[in-house]
Chain A
């Protein structure tokens, strides 16, 4: 029996090995073709004079500026300043907004009491509060982490509340019929059932975190990708400026893919809507 199942397993693995590289290649081509085209256009347009190369340098120039900055470690220090701030603010928001949202969602009274104030805060653009944060917390790290935290909190909090409220009542009924304690109900039913909706909020927060952080760094900072972009613009280091912008895109991609991978891990049980 065991031998047979081993054989089946190794046959399956073999199958995977022979099929997958081709499929993977096909997928890679499909996913990167438009992207490659974009870079090609970027390369050609300034060269043939379609756009002014002084303001819009060719891709190869931007890439070489990027490479030089990478070698001189200049890029890394800005990148790490930005990613540290965004992860600190974002992580803080997750650590506080999720438990809070679970509790608020669970108790109708908390929900009714807090809903108006939550709506007010949610609709206050985080960037509008930037001057307030700088006044109160100065232009150091604290104000930047605080504004990222502020911007991330609302989508996470509101989606967590919605997630708890929208748990299928039949699942609750079914669990209750098995006479489980309120704590178990919360921990074993409400929490796992809420994860998909919670993640919608977390991903929204991830996008918001970068947006707000870059803006904050542009206004008042001595370090970070946002600061670097405005700095290079003022000093007319145009290829460097584009390199900074590209780096922000990379930062965004890293955060987004990290969250997607985590989400996939936590909701493996969900039907893949693309299948």
Chain B
């Protein structure tokens, strides 16, 4: 497997108001010197506490902002802006409320310049993939949270990007819907062979989905450790979360995330 994405010593700072001095401004480091790479077709999850720079990192990967220092390579080329080689799924769905499920999916097809006569078949295909074929003509406000997120996933897949960037896409859903969507995402991933970078603050989710889990720590956001998850056949085992391998991996990630708290606690 080749290297698809390389995050090369990336730092991102923002200029913010200085709370100590009225009217003054200072630099705030959201991401500090991050370095990791993602393999072609890999499912990588990134987990970390709130405010550790996860969304900032995803914006950089999406080309919606640029690193202060360092660079990000996609297929060896530096990312300079947004592109349809990457599809993004946001936590709050970000569907266009004036378009139906199908219309939302076709928005991406149009952006890619796909001829109009092919839209119907393609949107049908992706609606089918996420199990929403009979909801094609519903507006977002007529869909449940889980359905909305399925539409958002279908929209991002429809213009056929190489990489899928997902920013806590299931965080707003109830536990049951979340588990269903997690396994559906795995199924879609196996079917489409996309490279997926999936951000979450849920440890279970990170371990269940990721072949590797990147663990971040906050203030400033930096990589604490990257853990391999040796689980095979996640979909075959209905209750994989009780599997000893899963439990072990989960505990390892949990310990890494909570290390700092303990260090504080026992001193």
Whether A associates with B in a native complex is yes
* Closest beta carbon of chain B to A189's beta carbon, Å: 7
- In the complex, the answer to whether B98 meets A173 with C-beta atoms within 8 Å is no
- Assuming the contacts A188-B107, A193-B98, A267-B98, asked whether A170 and B141 have C-beta atoms less than 8 A apart, the reply is no
Does A125 have its Cβ within 8 Å of any Cβ on chain B?
Answer: no
- In the complex, the answer to whether A174 meets B90 with C-beta atoms within 8 Å is yes
Residue count of chain A within 8 Å CB distance of chain B: 20
- In the complex, the answer to whether A179 meets B111 with C-beta atoms within 8 Å is yes
* Interfacial chain B residues near A178, Cβ < 8 Å: 82, 84, 107-108, 111, 159
* Closest beta carbon of chain A to B223's beta carbon, Å: 24
* Interfacial chain A residues near B108, Cβ < 8 Å: 178
Q: How far apart sit A153 and B43, CA to CA, in the bound complex (Å)?
A: 54
Residue count of chain B within 8 Å CB distance of chain A: 25
Chain B residue nearest in CB terms to A189: B96
* Interfacial chain A residues near B98, Cβ < 8 Å: 192-193, 195, 267, 269-270
Q: How far apart sit A170 and B140, CA to CA, in the bound complex (Å)?
A: 15
- Assuming the contacts A179-B82, A188-B107, asked whether A174 and B94 have C-beta atoms less than 8 A apart, the reply is yes
Determine the main DSSP class of A at the interface with B: helix
Q: How far apart sit A156 and B108, CA to CA, in the bound complex (Å)?
A: 32
- Of the candidates B63, B90, B159, the one whose C-beta lies within 8 Å of that of A170 is B90
- In the complex, the answer to whether B97 meets A177 with C-beta atoms within 8 Å is no
- In the complex, the answer to whether B82 meets A176 with C-beta atoms within 8 Å is yes
Q: Mark A166-183, 1 if CB is under 8 A from B, else 0.
A: 000011011111111000
- In the complex, the answer to whether A180 meets B111 with C-beta atoms within 8 Å is yes
- In the complex, the answer to whether B84 meets A171 with C-beta atoms within 8 Å is no
Chain A residue nearest in CB terms to B100: A269
Does A32 have its Cβ within 8 Å of any Cβ on chain B?
Answer: no
Does B169 have its Cβ within 8 Å of any Cβ on chain A?
Answer: no
Chain B residue nearest in CB terms to A267: B98
Q: How far apart sit A188 and B141, CA to CA, in the bound complex (Å)?
A: 19
Residue pairs across A and B with CB atoms within 8 Å: the count is 54
- In the complex, the answer to whether B62 meets A177 with C-beta atoms within 8 Å is yes
Does B64 have its Cβ within 8 Å of any Cβ on chain A?
Answer: yes
* Interfacial chain A residues near B81, Cβ < 8 Å: 179
- Assuming the contacts A180-B111, A269-B98, asked whether A170 and B92 have C-beta atoms less than 8 A apart, the reply is yes
Does B45 have its Cβ within 8 Å of any Cβ on chain A?
Answer: no
- In the complex, the answer to whether B82 meets A177 with C-beta atoms within 8 Å is yes
Q: Mark A244-273, 1 if CB is under 8 A from B, else 0.
A: 000000000000000000000001011100
- In the complex, the answer to whether B84 meets A179 with C-beta atoms within 8 Å is yes
* Interfacial chain B residues near A188, Cβ < 8 Å: 107
Given A189-B96, A269-B100, A270-B141, output 17 extra A-B contacts at Cβ < 8 Å.
A173-B64, A173-B90, A173-B94, A175-B107, A176-B64, A177-B82, A177-B88, A178-B108, A179-B82, A179-B84, A179-B111, A180-B111, A193-B96, A269-B97, A269-B139, A269-B141, A270-B97
State the B residues within 8 Å of A (CB): 62-64, 81-84, 86-88, 90, 92, 94, 96-100, 107-108, 111, 139-141, 159
Which 5 pairs across A and B sit closest by C-beta, in order of nearness?
A174-B94, A269-B98, A271-B141, A178-B111, A177-B88
